[in-house]
Structure 1
């Protein structure tokens, strides 16, 4: 179905092509980057990423049947002492792959890396309150809503709210046992 491989400089042009408005950039990355997204911003992002002790691991999403890079996902703010991290920058950028039910598999692959490979205890995320498909996905995947952060991001003259959500390793394992790994990639 899909696999995650570390995001590299060769993947930068594809990612930039998917981020086409300032609003979408904020929805994808929060305030981590500025519009327009550039090679330089992503090279800086990658400089300390994807090493054994990195606080960020960025991944490209590869659709196995077509061998195409179809998206991006990151595990950031990794704290090995407290055994937690943040899932962020989740994107299915390839228009032909949107709406195909791949998102649960992508999220599960990242959670597998977080909990099995890195031995983390908790993964959290932020999702804007208007992003109903993502909210439903994260709830389906076992994430719990910890709270609503009101008017946290300024976009032009508007302010956006986001939900803080998280999942613990034991909750993820219970979900896998209940519905089976084959249903989550």
Structure 2
């Protein structure tokens, strides 16, 4: 079972330890941060308004296993971003799907938004599959290009509306 709790200063070093390459930082955070991730960047990050930043716990072990954020774009629209299962050995076990369900519930129930968006790199097929299983669909007119070590990464937008 996955649980989300507020991300705080004492969580900084764990997140910094997980993000061990510029590529992973870009995959996880887009262009929000520069590599190497450090405490100064995270201190500024947690002070930004409209950000609901979480550490992710596996409630069966009480172990912190990840990080996630919901950014309120407006009263009706939120963006799920910076989703990371920190330890690579824990990836691919369905924890990301459980986490996304928690984030969706938080956004709909606590923030009372109507629309939830996210951005994902088009090569990240495992994440895209997870999002599609939950009901996210591609938004056709939005994409961004980022160059990482000479490779061009294409970020696409996905969206989910509440079930009526």
- Give TM-score, length-normalised by structure 1: 0.84
> What residue in structure 2 maps to residue 35 of structure 1?
35
Alpha-carbon separation, structure 2, partners of 1:56 and 1:88 = 10
> What residue in structure 2 maps to residue 75 of structure 1?
70
The correspondence of residues 1-12 of structure 1 with structure 2, limited to 5 A, is 1-12=1-12
Asked if 1 retains the 8 angstrom alpha-carbon contact of 2:144 and 2:156, the reply is no
1:122 equivalent in alignment to 2:120 = no
Asked if 2 retains the 8 angstrom alpha-carbon contact of 1:149 and 1:161, the reply is no
Greater percentage in helix: 1
List alignment gaps of at least 5 residues for structure 1. Answer: 49-53, 175-185
1:45 to partner: Cα distance: 0.2
How many correspondences in the alignment? Answer: 164
What secondary structure does 2:31 align onto? Answer: coil
What secondary structure does 2:73 align onto? Answer: strand
1:16 equivalent in alignment to 2:9 = no
1:97 to partner: Cα distance: 2.0
List alignment gaps of at least 5 residues for structure 2. Answer: none
- Of 94, 108, 119, the residue aligned with 2:87 is 94
> What residue in structure 1 maps to residue 159 of structure 2?
166
Map Cα deviations across residues 18-49 of structure 1 (whole Å, 9 max, x no partner).
1111111010000000000001000110113x
> What residue in structure 1 maps to residue 44 of structure 2?
44
Distance change >3 Å, CA 120–CA 77, structure 1 → 2: closer
Name which one, 1 or 2, has greater alpha-carbon Rg. 1
> What residue in structure 1 maps to residue 127 of structure 2?
134
1:159 to partner: Cα distance: 1.5
Asked if 2 retains the 8 angstrom alpha-carbon contact of 1:56 and 1:78, the reply is no
RMSD: 1.5
Alpha-carbon separation, structure 2, partners of 1:102 and 1:151 = 27
Alpha-carbon separation, structure 2, partners of 1:112 and 1:77 = 14
- Give TM-score, length-normalised by structure 2: 0.94
Runs (4 or more) in structure 1 with deviation over 3 Å come to 148-151
